Structure formats: structure tokens, C-alpha cells
Structure 1
């Protein structure tokens, strides 16, 4: 009988650890996805551009993103495989892009010029690129620091 109690205690502890790790992971995602100069302690103008992709649908999706400069050279290219309502980010683009291309295997596509127009309180020179795949089969671009 004592081994049953030990097993139940371990399961309860494991669940608690998972909850803590999930919370820490969520906090990390929020701090890196938004403009957060408080924690970094450094000037955010020197940091590279990050690409964040959100799957705002209720099914898994693959979203390809290609970022190019004014000469058409690829600065970033990646396929994000995301579960429903999930977000992922990658990248370290050092120079200002010219345009962003995003598309899915299902034919959803969007291309736009890199032209962030954020309020003055977003204190960063190079804005991070974000996009959300919506349930209505559209891609919504956005920017952050």
C-alpha cells in the first residue's frame, strides 16, 4: 500500500511541475513576442529582426515565410508547422527587409512590403515581423519590437 501512495504523490508532483513549466514557457513567449526592453536592459535598436507566426485556426497548419531584401536576396526562409492556436518564432535578420511572402500548401498567400508603422513608444529601429493565419483563410501581417 505505501507504494501506491508514493506513486500518487509523484503523479501530483509531476502535474505541478508541468504546470510551472507551461507557465514559464508562456511567459517566455510573451516576453519575446512583444516589445520588452525592460528585461533586456540593452538598446533594442541593435537586436536582429525576429519572425513570429501564429496559427489562429482550429486545425494544424504549415505556413511558409520568406523575407527578401531590396535586391531580391533571401534574408529568411522557413516553414512553420503549428498546431491549432499555436505560435512560433525564429530568425535573426540583421538588415531591413524589403518584402515578406507568406503562404500555405492550401493556397492561402499574402505578400506585403516591410513598412512597420508603430507608435513612437515602440522603441526599436528594426521591427519584428509577425503574421497570423486566420480562420477565414487570410494572413494578417503585424509588427512588434
Structure 2
């Protein structure tokens, strides 16, 4: 019985565990991208400084810096595109997982039973409300009935 209960819990927690795995994989991918970018940024900065120390003319230094910044911009753009792609992929996977979970939930027998119980409770409340409303109406007095008949005639 314990094994059945644990199996049931694991089955019910599967969507949550899948979401955790998707987020974990995405975080690992983003950390790897950032680590690679920072390492490359550091190395290219060191190489740029070495190259600048060897330059004699200011015009050459300016061209070297322009080239460096264009290369840096291209690398940053590439990393940003990869980050966005990773995030979009994770979002799509999580959306599919959420839709599947909601579909499974709406088909669950327990939910259908709860829905039926809720509808029965609503009907009972409606009946009780109508009965209380009817009981709260003042009863007509016989003299009022007689007065209405006389005025109608």
C-alpha cells in the first residue's frame, strides 16, 4: 500500500518535476553562455591591450579599437540571441507541460466528482433561498382580500 501511495505521489508530482528539470537545463545553458562570454571578453581584452601596446600611430590605435568594439558587439549580440532562444525554448516546453497538466486535471475523476458535488450544493442553496423568500413574504389577511373584492366591484 505504501508503494502504491508513493507511486501515486510521484505520478502526481511529475509535471512539477518536469518543470524543475526544464528550468534547471535552461539555467545551466544560460550559465554556460555567460561563462563562455565572460572568459572570451577577458581574453579578448587582454589581447587588445597587447595589440595596443605594439601600435605606434594614433590612427592605427583608433582603427584597432574600432575593430575590437565591432567584434565585441557582434559577440554580445550572438550571446543575447542564444539567451533569448534558450528562454523561448524553455517557455514553449513549460507551456506544453502546463496545457497537458490542465488537460489531465480536467479529465480527473476526482475533479468531476467535486464539480458534481459543487453543483448539487448550489442547487440546494437555491432551493433554500427560494423557500426562505417565500416564507418571508407576509401572508394576506382575509380583510384585505374582502376590501379588494369590494373595490373591484
TM-score, length of structure 1 as denominator length:
0.25
TM-score, length of structure 2 as denominator length:
0.24
More helix by share: 2
More strand by share: 1
